[in-house]
């Protein structure tokens, strides 16, 4: 047997150093023992305003890693997040409303978004919001088995964000399309990120098929729960138009909107 692999196995079993210290092929050799099956994120809704449950088939897997789809469920707290695959003309309006209500949000951006909208990204950062990583090219991260290619997906976003803002990007990662595997969660963790899924989302991402204001308000408000990580898409005209009313309603119902940094 390869002596290096024997030594590596021994050190791991003794927990003498963390897997985050692995680089290159050694990390890939270690992680190759992990499950590469691709899963789609979903949540199991419950009645009476109770927080939803995580997927039963991966509950044991996600418990091993810093994976969040809920925050503090003991308090009336909401964590508001937006996915930014491209700009559809509504983000500045969203930022105006967040500023009016003095609430934080997290924006998960891809590399082309930062390059195409540097002034909006700088505004997000300047107004106290988290700008977070959504990958460079929006692939299924479960399909990216090679560690170096996986790192590039995150590091290209980090690089461009720092060039635009002079700051380091917040270390929260939302897997594109909610696709993940045990291996992808391991890689994400070892690159210093927390994985952020969601406990509420709805069909809001198709510009040509926007829900009505009443439908969207009822859907979101009725599914709001303690510790909710809310996923909204910023390309949605409806979301931009109801956000002021929605935040007002949340506050009237006793909810506080907090930063992902408080998870």
Q: How far is it, in rounded angstroms, from Cα 79 to Cα 103? A: 10
- Asked if residue 234 belongs to a domain, the reply is yes
- Asked if residue 168 belongs to a domain, the reply is yes
* Tokens representing residue 45 in the block: 């809704």
Q: Mean pLDDT across the stretch 20-39? A: 65
Query: What DSSP element (H or E) covers 81?
Result: strand 77-84
What b/e sequence results for 11-37 when a residue is b if at least 16 CB atoms lie within 10 Å of its CB, and e otherwise?
eeeeeeeeeeebeeeebbebbeebeee
- Asked if residue 236 belongs to a domain, the reply is yes
- Asked if residue 137 belongs to a domain, the reply is yes
Q: How far is it, in rounded angstroms, from Cα 15 to Cα 27? A: 15
- What is the reported pLDDT for 14? 31
The total number of structural domains that make up the chain = 1
Which residues neighbour 129 within 8 Å (Cβ) at sequence distance 6 or greater? 95, 98, 104, 105, 106, 107
Q: Mean pLDDT across the stretch 92-111? A: 98
pLDDT at residue 20 greater than cutoff 60: no
pTM of the model: 0.89
Residue given tokens 């729960």 in the structure block: 225
- Asked if residue 216 belongs to a domain, the reply is yes
- pLDDT tens digits, 189-246: 999 999 999 999 999 999 999 999 999 999 999 999 999 999 999 999 999 999 999 9
Q: How confident is the model at residue 25 (pLDDT cuts 50, 70, 90)?
A: very low
The set of catalytic residues is 83, 233
List the one residue out of 204, 183, 193 whose CA is nearest residue 88. Answer: 204
Domain that holds residue 234: 34-43+54-262
| Residue that wins the pLDDT comparison between 248 and 1 | 248
- What is the reported pLDDT for 17? 31
Contact 106, 82 (CB under 8 A): yes
Q: Mean pLDDT across the stretch 63-75? A: 97
- Asked if residue 49 belongs to a domain, the reply is no
- Asked if residue 20 belongs to a domain, the reply is no
pLDDT at residue 16 greater than cutoff 60: no
- Tell me, what DSSP letter sits at residue 252? H
* Tokens representing residue 156 in the block: 């290209």
- Asked if residue 5 belongs to a domain, the reply is no
Tell me the CATH number at 108.
3.20.20.370
């Amino acid at each position: 047997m390869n002596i290096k692999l024997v030594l590596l196995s021994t050190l791991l079993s003794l927990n003498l150093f963390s897997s985050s210290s692995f680089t290159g092929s050694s990390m890939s050799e270690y992680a190759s023992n992990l499950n590469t099956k691709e899963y789609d994120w979903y949540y199991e809704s419950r009645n009476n305003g109770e927080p939803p449950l995580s997927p039963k088939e991966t509950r044991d897997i996600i418990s091993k890693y810093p994976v969040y789809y809920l925050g503090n469920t003991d308090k009336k707290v909401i964590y508001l997040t937006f996915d930014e695959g491209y700009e559809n003309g509504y983000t500045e309006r969203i930022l105006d409303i967040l500023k009016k209500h003095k609430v934080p949000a997290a924006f998960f951006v891809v590399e082309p978004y930062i390059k195409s909208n540097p002034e909006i990204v700088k505004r997000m950062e300047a107004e106290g919001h988290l700008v977070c990583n959504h990958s460079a090219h929006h692939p299924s991260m479960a399909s990216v088995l090679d560690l170096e290619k996986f790192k590039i997906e995150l590091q290209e976003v980090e690089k461009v964000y720092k060039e635009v803002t002079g700051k380091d990007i917040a270390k929260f990662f939302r897997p594109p399309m909610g696709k993940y595997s045990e291996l992808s969660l391991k890689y994400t963790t070892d690159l210093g990120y927390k994985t952020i899924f969601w406990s509420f989302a709805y069909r809001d991402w198709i510009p040509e098929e926007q829900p009505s204001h009443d439908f969207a308000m009822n859907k979101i408000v009725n599914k709001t729960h303690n510790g909710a990580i809310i996923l909204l898409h910023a390309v949605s005209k409806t979301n931009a138009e109801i956000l002021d009313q929605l935040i007002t309603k949340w506050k009237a119902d006793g909810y506080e909107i907090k930063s992902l940094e408080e998870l």
